[in-house]
Copies of this chain bind each other. A is one copy, B any other.
Amino acid sequence: MSLHIVRTVADLRAVVSAWHREGLRVALVPTMGALHDGHMSLVKAGLDRADRVIVTLFVNPKQFNNPRDLDLYPRTETEDALKLSEAGAHVLFAPGIDEMYPHGFSTRVIVEGVSEGLCGAYRPGHFEGVATVVSKLLLQAGADCAIFGEKDYQQLLIIKRLVRDLDIPVEIVGSATIREEDGLAMSSRNQRLSPEARNIAPVLHREMVLAAQTIRSGEPVAEALAKAAEKIVAQGYDKVEYLEMRGAETLAPLDTFGEPARLLAAAWLDDVRLIDNIAV
């Protein structure tokens, strides 16, 4: 069965309704395209959990606080479709902007608490744009489960929160970050790194792993993180935007290591903003 391309919400709902009438379980994998192995692992997680997998491709302008980042975001729909077809996904839902935000659109979904700090502090409006578009995609598809990467950890917790809070009838599944062999988290933005920057990029993850080890072995959290941030810059990053330890479930700030914790970071390299997170 080849990949079916769907452009409208009406067609998407018709497909899902037909599947549900057959008793099939449906998984949704929302993406902004430029698919790499990280995305393909989400598709595989969908295929493992459901009978049918819908991948969505929509570069959502509302979640780009930086217009230049939106302009530069890679768009590779044809290549994406071929990858999805080969991987066994069933539908690619790739709506146009007018299908998603028709004239008069004026609703915003805001998740407080878990969206504060970290990326929320540096990308004003970003998570509001994410929460709004993800609410729409979940309600458009009516899938049984939806798969999101742990790479965007704060986003994953925001989506879990809004699904609980608005009673959206879908199961949210987090899927582990996929990394290059040198540890760099896969990201569409990695494409924008120069070859030199690409060599430096794994430093972020490497220093996070070392910091987690020293924290686990008893070093005070603030010192371990300050040292790691310094080493990341010393090895070629332009700036560490944040490097913090937070509660793994709530993202509440943690000064000392105890409950399940997560290290989260954003850092700039070669004019590209990279993020990563790991369990402590």
A142 closest partner in B (C-beta): B169
The complex places the Cα of A142 from the Cα of B162 at a distance, in Å, of: 17
Partner of A106, one of B9, B107, B113: B113
Chain B residues contacting A168 (CB-CB under 8 Å) are 139
Residue total for A at the interface (Cβ-Cβ under 8 A): 30
A116 closest partner in B (C-beta): B106
Partner of A108, one of B112, B136, B164: B112
A3 at the interface (CB under 8 A from B): no
Would A107 and B162 count as touching, CB distance under 8 A? yes
Of residues 151 through 167 on chain A, the ones whose CB sits less than 8 Å from some CB of chain B are 161-162, 164-167
A188 at the interface (CB under 8 A from B): no
The complex places the Cα of A113 from the Cα of B139 at a distance, in Å, of: 22
Number of copies: 2
A190 at the interface (CB under 8 A from B): no
Given contacts A9-B167, A109-B166, A135-B166, contact A161 B114 (CB under 8 A): no
- CB proximity of A264 to chain B, nearest CB, Å: 19
Would B106 and A108 count as touching, CB distance under 8 A? no
A224 at the interface (CB under 8 A from B): no
Given contacts A136-B166, A167-B9, contact A114 B110 (CB under 8 A): no
- CB proximity of A93 to chain B, nearest CB, Å: 12
- CB proximity of A140 to chain B, nearest CB, Å: 5
The complex places the Cα of A162 from the Cα of B105 at a distance, in Å, of: 9
- CB proximity of A270 to chain B, nearest CB, Å: 36
A13 at the interface (CB under 8 A from B): yes
A254 at the interface (CB under 8 A from B): no
- CB proximity of A194 to chain B, nearest CB, Å: 40
Would A114 and B109 count as touching, CB distance under 8 A? no
The complex places the Cα of A162 from the Cα of B162 at a distance, in Å, of: 16
Chain B residues contacting A106 (CB-CB under 8 Å) are 111-114, 161, 165
- CB proximity of A163 to chain B, nearest CB, Å: 9
The 10 closest A-B pairs by CB, nearest first: A107-B165, A106-B113, A106-B112, A139-B167, A108-B110, A140-B167, A107-B162, A107-B111, A136-B167, A105-B165
Q: Can you list 23 A-B pairs, Cβ within 8 angstroms, ordered by A?
A: A13-B169, A104-B161, A104-B250, A105-B165, A106-B112, A106-B113, A106-B114, A106-B165, A107-B109, A107-B131, A107-B161, A107-B165, A109-B109, A109-B110, A109-B166, A110-B110, A132-B166, A135-B166, A136-B165, A136-B167, A139-B139, A139-B168, A140-B167
Taking Cβ atoms with an 8 Å cutoff, the residues of A that contact B are: 9, 13, 102, 104-114, 131-132, 135-136, 139-140, 142, 161-162, 164-169, 250
